[in-house]
Amino acid sequence: MPKEEKRKREELAFQYVIGLVQPCSAMYAQRIKDAWLDYEYGRTPEGKWMKEMDKFECLTQAHEYEQKTHGKENLEEFQSYRSKINSAVGNSWLRLLDTERATHRVKRQRRLPVTFITGDQMMYKPHCASLAQELDFQYIAIDDLVRAKSRDCSYQHAKFVGTYVDEDLELPVGLITELVEKSIEEGIRDGKRWSVVHGFPVNMDQLLEFEQQVQESNYIIFLEEAPQYPFVSASNQWRSADLQEILEMYDNHAFRSDKVRRHDALLDEVVKLFDEGVGKRLKAGETYSTRCEEDADKLRLAMRDKVNEVRSCLDSEEQQEAPSPPDLFKKINSKQDEAALYGSIKNALEGFTRHAEGDTKRLPLH
């Protein structure tokens, strides 16, 4: 939108707001008007500060979007707002943001050597721990990690984590992701060439957070047909919807980009809303002529065709980049006998490490 058009619309909006307030209090209406003019034209130090922070907020949003899109979207246009940051405090915050962006870019250029084992958390824990020891991998059990952190007096969030453990609550997704990342890095410093993380992710929120903040396209072993996990509370036990989402993401339609998933969801919602709108009108008793119903059907079909067309284009665009699903995701039937299950998990772990070592020409493991 052109700058002048934007300003005109904002002026009209404030005129409307002031008109609403004025009958109740002319004084407050004037204060609202003055505050807006201070911001818009920088008439006061406070107004200049708010204008500056508005631009800084755009820069922070751009960084957050860089993380969500794995750095694939070009957001350099937003960097022009840097010239609008003039105060000492604003520039100190800008330097912190630059440091955070640089750190995130470096993280994106590495690959942490890790396999996640999700599904059943307790019954097969000894199998996974023994395998990690046999292969000289670091073994990280999420429940043990969380409990250990709750008792670690040197950990800044120990009391906070302890409360979550005592109340049988699921830790905030950002915190659990940070704990997992730091534990993997500790294993690297200790000379472990690979880490096995058991009990993560337990839902799509955790998986997407790790992919956005740490690295995308991770190796996952999924133990199927597993019983419920007793460590967490009833409200946080394995939900079939969470498992189904993870399975659908990594199996058959694996590793489609966030962009594809966003378009799928948006277009599905458009069709759904249209169908619901027609249904509500029919239930309300509106009389549709045959012609109106035919037109509605044609529009619905046209919308569905457009959905399929966009999906086809996006899928084609991603096809060259997408890794083969079997290389990164393995489903294992947990109801095998113990020896067979042990062997299946071991084969998957060794296969993942071989696959990763084949990628080291492209990306360093750490």
**What pLDDT digit, counting tens, does each position of 218-245 carry?**
899 888 764 443 333 333 333 444 555 5
The reported pLDDT for the residue numbered 285 is: 54
Length of the chain: 366
Q: Are 277 and 269 in contact (CB under 8 A)?
A: no
Q: Is the pLDDT of residue 346 over 70?
A: yes
Closest CA to 35 of 12, 53, 18: 18
Instruction: Output the pLDDT for position 195.
Output: 95
pLDDT band with cut points at 50, 70 and 90 for residue 297: low
Flag whether pLDDT at 337 surpasses 90: no
Beta strands in the chain (DSSP E): 114-118, 138-141, 195-198, 219-224, 329-333
Verdict on whether the full-model pTM lies above 0.85: no
CB 192 within 8 A of CB 89: no
